[in-house]
Amino acid sequence: MSIRNVLILGAAGRDFHNFNTFFSRNPGYRVIAFTANQIPNIEGRLYPPELAGNLYPAGIPIFPEVDLPELIRKYHIHDCYFSYSDISYHAVMGISAVVHAAGANFVLLGPGETMIKSSKPVIAVCAIRTGCGKSQTSRKIVELLMEKGKKVVAVRHPMPYGNLVKQKVQRFSVLDDLKKHDCTIEEMEEYEPHIVRGNVIYAGVDYQAILDSAENDPDGCDVIVWDGGNNDFSFYRPDLLVTVTDPHRAGHELSYYPGEVNLRLANVVIIIKWTVLH
């Protein structure tokens, strides 16, 4: 069997999820490295063997994306899988031009290969751009469900900027958990509002393991709410997908990846902002 050499282009989130769901146990591919963009201080790290699995006993290195052409040539890369979000179509195709000029294929994995099915009902909140108001929408949905007497577990899009092994599965139910998991300010801003509302929130790196824990949470779980990050599409297959739009950035819903995917998949579209004219 011919094995294809792969680079995964990412930003410490979708890239790890794509690896875990599609590549980690697939002997037809050899993931040579991740490349990092968008998030500072990610490159130079290692995706650890404890998470990478039996096919990758040494783990997988993470290089800066600016080295992409050199990496493609040095490691005889066949395929580069683009795996981060909130980026304009113009920028996406610019990266594809770099990849093609270096001699590799440019590939996008879709929801069919990467969404995980839950045994619980899933409501996913996504958006056409980052900053549209997903978190506020997610929290409002959680409140409405809790008013109906439902046990709600929220799962947040990843922000794994620390020790990846320790961050494999993170559970937050009390404020002390923020200190326990060495959360950044960005993480605390996302997790604390859920905690003070009385619901549990999970995050981390391995979203199959996170789902298994969420479905069997010790406080109970009737419904899972996916609290999306950037404008990525959901890691879990939703029974109801809510996509948040932004009237102050009209047209972005048709010009950013993968925001248009979320718009086309949506069961409910929400315009969350408005302007008051005097």
Q: What is the mean pLDDT of the chain?
A: 93
Q: Which residue has the tokens 């050499």?
A: 5
Q: Distance between CA 131 and CA 172 in Å, rounded?
A: 23
Domain covering 115-271, topology: Rossmann fold (3.40.50)
Topology match between the domains 4-112 and 115-271: yes
Residue 44's pLDDT is 66
Residue 41's pLDDT is 60
Mean pLDDT per block of 10 residues along the chain (278 residues) reads: 93 93 97 85 81 96 95 98 96 98 98 97 96 92 96 93 91 94 89 91 97 97 93 97 94 96 97 68
The three-state (H, E, C) secondary structure of the chain, written as one string: CCCEEEEEEECCCHHHHHHHHHHCCCCCEEEEEEEECCCCCCCCCEECHHHHCCCCCCCEEEEEHHHHHHHHHHCCCCEEEEECCCEEHHHHHHHHHHHHHCCCEEEECCHHHHCECCCCCEEEEEECCCCCCHHHHHHHHHHHHHHCCCCEEEEECCCCCCCCCCCCEEEECCCHHHHHCCCCHHHHHHHHHHHHHCCEEEEECCHHHHHHHHHCCCCCCCEEEEECCCCCCCCECCCEEEEEECHHHCCHHHCEECHHHHHHHCCEEEECCCCCCC
- Token pair of 204 as six digits: 């981390």
Given its phi and psi angles, is residue 106 left (phi above 0), alpha (psi -120 to 50 degrees) or beta? beta
Residue 259's pLDDT is 96
State which amino acid sits at residue 163: N
Evaluate whether 9 touches 68 at the Cβ level (below 8 Å).
yes
Residue 229's pLDDT is 83
Domain covering 4-112, topology: Rossmann fold (3.40.50)
Domain ranges across the chain: 4-112, 115-271
Evaluate whether 91 touches 63 at the Cβ level (below 8 Å).
no
Give pTM, 2 decimals: 0.93
Residue 276's pLDDT is 58
- The β-bridge relationship of strands 268-271 and 169-172 is unpaired
